[in-house]
Homo-oligomer: A and B are copies of this chain.
Amino acid sequence: MQLPKGVEWAAHCLVVLERLTEDHPVANSTLAEVYGLSPTYLNKHLQALTRHGLLISMPGSAGGFTLSRPASEITLADVVEALEGGGPIFRCTEIRCDGLFQPHSTEIRASGSCAIAAAMWTAEQAWRHSLAAVSITDLVQGVDAVSSKNLNEFVENKNVKVGPIL
């Protein structure tokens, strides 16, 4: 069991978006260039973030993606939920009601939920809770100095090339 690679990409891109966005959208190709990622595949994940309301996409020549709300209100839990679907990582198939116990399934269900499933879901909640405690703002502050400097230089170069809109 492993988280899709897209989660890592999306999280990093949201951080960069927070740094690069200033009332104008950032193109998928730009984000891909920053991290040396496959543009087409990255696009797939950014679309997922858009579908789940984390990003706003703008078509057209000067289009791109923008954060849909302040970075402080976007957490890693949102990112995981957007790319993972938010479904439980442990799925209970209720085998406690199969086999020997089949004839008494209604009684068993009435006695409460499966203890194993309950424990799994509690642990899962701890995980999601920990993820929800980390916002994009927190991650931006965690970016090291040299990376931040590189990003600034990149923006300036883009500035020269693209024009005064940046």
Contact = CB atoms under 8 A, between A and B. Distances in A.
Interface in A97-140: 98-102, 104, 107-108, 111-112, 115-120, 122-124, 126-131, 134, 138-139
A101 B33 CA distance: 11
Contacts of A146: 101, 104, 107-108, 111
A91 interface: yes
A111 B144 contact: yes
Contacts of A112: 144
A146 B91 CA distance: 23
Contacts of A76: 116, 119-120, 123
A99 B33 CA distance: 6
A61 interface: no
Contacts of A139: 115-116, 119
Given A8-B92, A12-B116, A144-B111, A100 B1 contact: no
Interface of A: 1-5, 7-9, 11-12, 15, 33-37, 76, 84, 87-93, 95-96, 98-102, 104, 107-108, 111-112, 115-120, 122-124, 126-131, 134, 138-139, 142-147, 150-151, 154
Nearest to A33: B99
Query: Secondary structure at chain A's binding surface: helix, strand, loop or mixed?
Result: helix
Given A36-B102, A107-B146, A89 B12 contact: no
Nearest to A145: B111
B96 A36 contact: no
Contacts of A100: 33-36, 150-151, 154
5 contacts: A33-B100, A115-B143, A119-B131, A124-B127, A127-B130
